[in-house]
Amino acid sequence: YLLFVPVIWIALRWGVPGAMLATLGIQIALVLVARDATRAPPLMDLQFLMVVLSATALLLGAVVTDRATALKRVAQSEARQRALLEMAPDAVLAIDRAGRIAGSNPAALRLFGGEGAGIREGATADSLLPGLSLDMEEGHAALDARRQGGSTFPAEVAWARLDEPAGEGFLVTVRDVSDRRRVQEELRERDTALARAMRFAVAGELA
């Protein structure tokens, strides 16, 4: 019975491989000891105890091995998601149910805080995205976002509610469309100038 303590510890520490090796070593030792009938109980009696010991060790080892495998998969998934967020060109904000910024990626730090600056601790979504209403599970909006320095910029915002077990809150992506607005404005000015030139050309031909 004293063998249960080290065998259980081995199963919890090394999983199924450790449990198998431990029970195999004990089985070999029992066979060698049971050869001398005067010093040990009959081998058959020891085998019943060995079955219980082996079943306990293998069950614990299987649980530990499955848990280690699941933790490894979760760690790999989190590493992939973290890499995707860090490489994303758009700002990504995690907002809790109280409306506070719970997390952000490097693009969000650059967009709202400037190069090398971070988002203030305890900052709220309304301070960065005034007018944003997260009353639906997912959606899109166009608004004027505000940097921590006070300047504003046009932004396109998309959000989605986080499902359990991630917790209550929203994942919000923010894209700065200042360059697009500037290009569109330049195109409109160019079209206006072209139309004016065409009208002058037509008037000159008529004259």
How would you list the strands of the sheet with 169-176, edge to edge?
101-104, 91-96, 169-176, 152-161, 138-146
Least confident of 39-43, 62-66, 91-95, 107-111: 39-43
- Of 160, 163, 92, 149, nearest to 120 by C-alpha is 149
pLDDT at 18 over 60: yes
pLDDT of residue 70: 92
- Report how far apart, in Å, the C-alpha atoms of 139 and of each of 25, 158, 161, 168, 170 are: 62, 6, 10, 17, 11
pLDDT at 188 over 80: yes
pLDDT of residue 41: 63
Average pLDDT estimate for 169-187: 87
The residues that bridge with 42 in the sheet, in sequence order, are none
Token pair belonging to 107: 């693009």
pLDDT of residue 121: 65
CA angle 93, 118, 114 (to 5 degrees): 100
The per-residue pLDDT of the chain, averaged, comes to 84
Answering whether pTM is above 0.85, one says no
pLDDT of residue 139: 85
Question: Which has more confidence, 30 or 159?
Answer: 159
CA trace torsion 195, 196, 200, 202 (10° rounding): 20
Average pLDDT estimate for 100-127: 78
- Report how far apart, in Å, the C-alpha atoms of 154 and of each of 18, 43, 180 are: 60, 82, 10
List, for residues 130-164, the tens digit of each pLDDT value.
Answer: 888 888 888 888 888 888 778 888 888 998 888 76
Average pLDDT estimate for 23-47: 74
